[in-house]
Amino acid sequence: MTEVAVIGFAQSPCLPSAGTTSGVETLVPVFQEVLAATGLAKQDIDFWCSGSSDYLAGRAFSFVNAVDAIGAYPPVAESHVEMDAAWALYEAYVKLLTGEARTALVYGFGKSSAGQLRRVLALQLDPYLHAPLWPDSVSIAALQARAGLDAGRYTERDMARVAARSRTAALSNPKAQVSGSDTADDLLAAPYVADPLRAHDCAPVGDGAAAVVLAAGDEARRLRARPAWITGFAHNVDSPALGVRDLTTVPSATAAAAAAGLRGGDLDAVELHAPFSHQELLLAAALGLGDRASVNPSGGVLCGNPMFSAGLSRIGLAAKLVMSGRADRVAGHATSGPALQQNLVCVMEGS
């Protein structure tokens, strides 16, 4: 079996508006940074794979222009998923497992500021029955948060604690869009934006991009003193029917964790893709995280959630902890769809 590792990660700052017309301008410096860090040139990359969304960009084929950021001539082996780039990383990981490629560069990008994100995301719902009612993404998350409160899974104070811890952690993350030293009590004094969610319970809307470099076996060892070896990588999806799901559980996250061999009690750190504070609490339970793991040491997506690269960044940030020697066993998680419908887990180890 081919061994595959993360050997590089870079991300743009998470900004309320990237002030650019396309992903290209955001991606170019990210590619430069990640290639420089790995000592690779673009010709050394065997496979490219990206994640983005046409709906976010408000046009068809938005990923086509992003190919310009590669400088894809001579032509490259390349693919694209209409998903968060964490799933593009999965496609590239599988490519490396086949042995057809030894290195891969995976990138995600998105410009949420181009539209009203919460309304755009309503178009992910069943177009015949749900979408015509325009239930926006924040309102659906609020329904889920309320269901969890009513079921006694957590309290509003627990949610505020998640936000306070995230914002404090983000003080030392220069890429974060939001940070602060407010206590849970401070945060609980804020008004609701969608009962029971307050502004700090919701990820900020922002633009950004990220890239991860994968390498196989000896190639990874040659390029990086301490690669973050992928020991488990899996994803799963739940039913889209919100009225059919128990919104206080996340079976697809539990299934992905089991398939990836997560062993939540045995992690040094985990980066969770939880765009709403209560979702971190639901995911911690679904993934069986113990007290040992440091959760979202970057501040998480509550402090910066560039759509379609935020999930990839969770894996990249977790991998960085291993590559820098600060952790031995970590995991990155990504989610997609309304109310945590689809989930992905990537487990990485130092050696």
Partner 1 sequence: MNSAITTRAAVLGTGQTEHRTRRTDVSMAGLCREAIDRALADAGIEWSDVDAVVLGKAPDLFEGVMMPELFLADALGATGRPLLRVHTAGSVGGSTAIVASQLVQAGVHRRVLAVAFEKQSESNAMWALSIQPPFTMPVGAGAGGYFAPHIRSYIRRSGAPPHVGAMVAVKDRRNGALNPHAHLRQPGITLESVNASPMLWDPIRYDETCPSSDGACAIVIGDEAAAEASDRQVAWIHATAMRTEPTYFAGKDHVNPRAGYEAARALWRAAGITDPLEQIDAAEIYVPFSWFEPMWLENLGFAAPGEGWKLTEAGETGIGGALPVNPSGGVMCSNPIGASGLLRFAEAAMQVMGRAGEHQVEGARTALGHAYGGGSQFFAMWVVGTAPV
Does the footprint of partner 1 cover residue 149 (CB under 8 A)?
no
Which residues, in sequence order, are CB contacts of 326 under 8 Å at separation 6+?
269
95 binds partner 1 (CB under 8 A): yes
Q: Please tell me whether residue 143 binds partner 1 under the rule CB under 8 A.
A: no
- List the Cα angle 220/76/229 in 5-degree steps: 20
Distance CA 224, CA 215 (A): 10
Region near partner 1 per CB under 8 A, out of 81-89, 196-204, 266-274, 296-304: 81-89
- Chosen residue from 41, 60, 133, 225 binding partner 1 by CB under 8 A: 60
- Are residues 195 and 146 in contact, defined by beta-carbon separation less than 8 angstroms? yes
Which of the stretches 66-74, 151-159, 262-270, 288-296 binds partner 1 when contact is defined by CB under 8 A? Answer: 66-74
Nearest-approach distance from CB 90 to partner 1, in angstroms = 7
User: What's the rounded Cα separation, in Å, for the pair 32 and 69?
Assistant: 10
174 counts as binding partner 1 under rule CB under 8 A: no
Taking the C-alpha atoms of residue 277 and residue 295, their distance in angstroms, rounded to an integer, is 12
Q: Which stretch binds partner 1 (CB under 8 A): 141-149, 167-175, 291-299, 330-338?
A: 330-338
**Residue 228 engages partner 1 in binding (rule: CB under 8 A):** no
Which DSSP letter does residue 324 get? T
| Spatial CA neighbour of 175 closest among 212, 210, 205, 213 | 210
Tokens, residue 261: 């061999």
Spatial CB neighbours of 31, under 8 Å, sequence gap ≥ 6: 10, 42, 69, 70, 105, 107, 211
How many Å separate Cα 319 from the centre of its chain? 13
- From residue 110 to residue 139, the character string flagging contacts with partner 1 as x (rule: CB under 8 A) and all else as - is ----------xx-xxxxxx-xx--------
Smallest separation, CB 23 to partner 1 (Å): 10
- Which of residues 11, 80, 208, 219 is near partner 1 by CB under 8 A? 80
Element (H, E) at 322: helix 310-323
Of the pair 65, 294, the CB lying nearest partner 1 is at: 65
**Nearer to partner 1 among residue 45 and residue 164 (C-beta):** 45
Residue window 16-55: x/- pattern of binding to partner 1, with contact defined by CB under 8 A: -----xx-------------------------x----xxx
Q: How many residues does the chain have?
A: 351
Q: Looking at 25, 37, 44, 76, which residue binds partner 1 (CB under 8 A)? A: 76
DSSP codes of every residue in 8-47: EEEEPPPBS----SSHHHHHHHHHHHHHHHHT--GGG-SE
- Applying CB under 8 A, the residues found at the interface with partner 1 are 1-2, 21-22, 48, 53-55, 57-65, 67-68, 71-83, 87, 90-91, 94-95, 97-100, 120-121, 123-128, 130-131, 234-241, 251-252, 255, 336-338, 341-342
